[in-house]
Structure 1
Amino acid sequence: MSTALDTPATRVLQMLAAAEGPLSGEAAAERLKLSRTAVWKQIEVLRVSGYTIVAHGRNGYRLTAVPNAAVPTEVLPRLRTRTFGHAYHYLASTPSTNAVLSRLAARGAPEGTVVVAERQEAGRGRMSRGWFSPPDTGLYFSLLLRPTVEVARVTSLPLVVGLAVADALAPHLPAGEPRVKWPNDIWIGDRKACGILCELQAEIDGVQHVVVGIGINVNLEARALPVELRSIATSLKMAAGVTVQRAELLAALLDHLERDYAAWQRQGLAPFLKRLRDRDVLLGRSITVERAAGALSGTADGVNPDGSLRLRLPDGRIESIYSGDAHVRRSATLADLSDSSDRIR
């Protein structure tokens, strides 16, 4: 688990990146006040992290390729945030980033702490559904928030997070994409590309913390999807046809999240309603909402300032929906976006 940028391996990496030719092991050792053996060990640490470093005999080492991964050495130098991501924990594999961050939160981790995993073995969606989280292709991370707001306001937070995600993904996609699907998904076209899971810890005196889990299909290819997800899932690469640098995307996303979160704490969802309406994939569509109290069908009519879904019933009345699964009432691939859809992170 990595949390700091100023490490021997990072300093070696900075020297390799700045070198116009091979970096002498002796020169690196002298500058870093390390032994040549210690420098070699740091080279090996970088190689394990995915960096391609070629040895040129007595001439030293040359950096020839960097990993397309959210490793700290690629993400932290790109951060433009004040606090988000500055406490950064990177894991090669974990059952769930939300579970790891929840434990850190209980031990007093600061707001803005991020836990990233290259692979999740037991990623979770809403209603404890599994999330499909293959290695080397996505962004799977959790962000710790400690909002000073009333508990009721937290119900609108997934929509604010969704807008931040959409704005970060938009430069990689055609105009108008991606779209936000109430309450916690991101769609590209009519397929899911991202899931959001906000887990609240509250006491009688208010919110203790919120762990925000975000999973984005970045460079996932169609052939890697399970058969049952191929008609309802997509990724940035599948939609745009290009490979996206995941560290750059995460740094940009944390910047969007920090700014939108600050505005949400001050003013709630109200200043986001126009942006949300512009990106609302359900707006004006015939949907069915599955709720504990029973299913309701009607036409999606936007979102209320408290984050609830406005559902226009066949008799013209507006019903506010505070929780449930919304399914677009269309044939074939969009007829059912429940259990399978929530497996995609």
Structure 2
Amino acid sequence: MSTELRVAMIGHGFMGAAHSVGWRQAPAVFDLPLAPRMAVLVGRDADKTAASARKWGWDETSTDWRSVIERSDIDVVDIVTPGDSHAEIAIAALAAGKHVLCEKPLANSVDEAVAMRQAAQDAAAHGIRAMVGFTYRRVPAVTLMRDMIADGRIGTVRQVRASYRQDWLADPGSPMTWRLDKERAGSGALGDIGAHIVDMAQFVTGQSLTQVSAALETIVEERPLLGESVGLSGTAGDERGRVTVDDLALFIGRLESGTLASFEATRFATGRKNALDIEISGDAGALHWNLEDLNALDFYDATRPPLEQGFTRILVTEPEHPYLEGWWPAGHMLGYEHGFSHQAKDLIEAIAHARDPRPTFADGLHVQRVLDAVERSASNSAVWTEV
């Protein structure tokens, strides 16, 4: 690796930590064609940004993202800010000739996502790449699920069931955060975690959603305003702020083939900390995966003799499995953070080999259209709504 790829990351919260691990680990594990350098970390608070930079290994810091993206020594802009700033930063970075990685969901609205897709298409004509960060695609077991479906191992897909359940808002006394303010987040459970299962269902089946019928619910409508939450959906001095996003999203959809899919995204599933679950049923078998057991893929082969049928647990840790060639010996498990190393690997290789990384901004736009259709359906008594 003789050529550096200098990265500036905008934002440094929870996702900033995960992305930092990815940028740092990828070149140590994989034989990459370019060497990523964690050059600049950008945040609004100079002291907090500096502390994050020291913790995660960034060379320098800034509080001005506009000046950073104009620098000639920056090659990649990694956006991990709340959704309300994705479009502005990504479009400006692409116009400045920087490759862009943007966290999901791509934007807060379809219009913003359309503008981002157009900016990415314009930049691609000059060799500039853009990718949206649906990181769960890069869990080895999920990629293997996609590959097995594409190889016909479960036959024709008949039904999809996907859910993402958390409980971190189950306590009505939990304070307001930016994720509960529609102006900042765009939507609630729908966009925050529902976007993941929409993308995953489309990724593993190779089909896009075309219609949805949905219901959304805000279970706790007001929350305490504490610390940084003061000013979110309220004003300084208010005791409580109004929640302006959904807590729970339930919807069904149709894939291009007409196959029905069901989706649940909730932050009120008491006892469920981070339970992303997907099952694909076909006429020749089925596949099932759960994030809380992320190294395993359950496979049912309906073509086997009746006395031998039953789900088989595949331990996805062999070096021949997706992404595993650089990691540990078979049976030594990977965790949540490894997907971010795989994300960095895929983006670096796409840049080096002059190809568009997946998922593209166009893929992110389609997910945004699905989220928008869900909201429109929910506001119209769950009527079937075109994506």
- What range describes the TM-score normalised by the shorter chain of this pair? under 0.3
State the structure with more CA Rg. Answer: 1
Normalised to the residue count of structure 1, the TM-score between the two structures is 0.28
Q: Which has the higher contact order (CA 8 A, sep 6+)?
A: 2
